[in-house]
Amino acid sequence: MQDITTALGMPKFAAKQIAQWLYVKRVHSIDEMTNLSKENRARLEADGYTIGYEDPVDAAHSKDGTIRYLFATPVGKHIETVYLPEHERATLCISSQIGCKMHCYFCMTGKQGFNGQLTSHQIINQIFAIPESLTLTNLVFMGMGEPLDNWEELRKALDIITAPWGMAWSPKRVTVSTIGQMQHLSDFLRESLCNLAVSIHSPFADERLKLMPVQGAYPISDVIALLKTYDWTHQRELTFEYIVFRGVNDDIRHAQELLRLLKGLPCKVNLIRFHAIPDVDLQTSDVKAMESFRDYLCQHGLMTTIRASRGEDIYAACGMLSSKKEEERRIKG
């Protein structure tokens, strides 16, 4: 913004004024920036600048209050954003890519394929363009795509969310999820104080490889070794996400190996119920098995919780995002 205002011959402080209009007052047009002179507003518009709000093209409402929003992209594909209200919390699950290139076996987004990176504008627009925007208490980058595979645009978005000149949110309210993309994991740890969630799903390398091809490029043992070099005295949370599959990764043997693998890391484990998707021969673990798994880890000093499943009836639950509405329209058309 400073580069833009300087190039247009505007005062140096105009960049800060524009940021406040964008991220605090959230105006929808340049003409609403009334503490800029009419001449400077005209300069911005003449140079082709716009605010950039893009409303969702559709919304699906779950019986549990979850809302799945559909946003269009310039490449003709759609992305999905999920609003999750719960008591005093209101969490938004944000997408970072159009589809995903990681091809995790259990994930519908991966089966959709990869259709491009989202810009920081498209990422931030998901936060600003929903009707519930001002009620949000938490943001999680757990929607479509692998966030660290779009690091440069993610970094810009995280800056806007947490910087004093932007939304000024505490990093504690923001969580970035990754399947272990090590190319930019160090960058994230160094340049951001937001919380980190790592998808693990099996502590055994051969089993994890069958579920997550990324294991071949970035073994989970290497990811954890890197995390153990980091100073976790910073006020950020480290969580390991673990989707529980019946008869695959839900026994004591897996719990014991998970304890061994994560030993020495100040972290917690989030157990997630698997949501069945077409053409995948995995089944949801039963409640008793998940509770036994949780209790064993907790008894051995590893804080573990079972995440409540939300939005399954509208395909908004974990692993189910796939621009389903777009596919339905294409089939009908």
Active-site annotation holder among 80, 146, 153, 241: 80
Structural tokens at position 198: 């790592």
Compute the distance between CA of residue 168 and CA of residue 159 in angstroms, rounded to an integer. 9
Is 80 catalytic? The answer is yes
295 Cβ neighbours under 8 A, 6+ residues apart: none
Strands 268-273 and 304-306: parallel
**What sign has the CA pseudo-torsion 128, 187, 200, 265?**
negative
- Tell me which amino acid residue 61 is: H
**List 54, 318, 326, 327, catalytic entry:** 318
Task: Reduce the DSSP state of residue 110 to 3 states and report it.
Answer: helix
- Per DSSP, the residues of 181-250 read -TTTHHHHHHH--SEEEEE-S-SSHHHHHHH-THHHHS-HHHHHHHHTTS-TTSS--EEEEEEEBTTTS-
Q: Is 93 one of the annotated active-site residues of the chain?
A: no
Q: What Rg do the C-alpha atoms of the chain give, in angstroms? A: 21
Total H helices, total E strands in the chain: 13, 12
Q: How far apart are CA 162 and CA 173, in angstroms?
A: 9
Catalytic residues: 80, 318
